[in-house]
Amino acid sequence: MNRRAAYEPGSGHHKLWLTIGGRLGHGGLYGLDLDEGEFQQGVDRRWEVSVLHPDEVKQQREDRKVLDLERRENEHVEKLIAALHKHPAGQTARQLKAESRLNQDNFLRALAVLKQVGRVEEILIPTKRGSFDGFRLAK
């Protein structure tokens, strides 16, 4: 047995790998989820056990990765929206990227999301040296 995920003290939740087998070559690898509940004085603890096939564990990991990616992308969009709110008349992409503190890839993905849902519009930003492409929140 080995841990699949770090144990959070006091949670009573354990995610383990269970390797079984014998010398005749039979065996397997399974995910084992144990929930022993939280310790409370005078209350019996429960033991709930779930055995998962490795494919189920893999799917759970992939699902968690997708959720983490969506959460990070939402954070990037929120950072870009905050930068756009500072400039109601609009600002250049370079300045917005710097103010939102996003790298180029994250900035472009966040900008694409905002364009797709119609939250941002492209405009021209006039400067002393001409004009630059820029963006502002859609009205």
Q: Which CATH class is domain 68-137?
A: mainly alpha
- Copy the structure tokens of residue 69: 């990616």
The packing angle between helices 104-116 and 54-85, to 10°, is 80
Domain extent listing, the chain: 2-52, 68-137
pLDDT at residue 22 tops 80: no
Burial class for 96, CB neighbours closer than 10 Å (0-12, 13-18, 19+)? buried
Which range has the top average pLDDT, 11-20, 39-48, 76-85, 120-129? 76-85
pLDDT at residue 110 tops 80: yes
**pLDDT at position 103:** 95
> Per-residue pLDDT tens for 36-78?
877 677 777 778 888 888 788 778 778 888 888 899 999 999 9
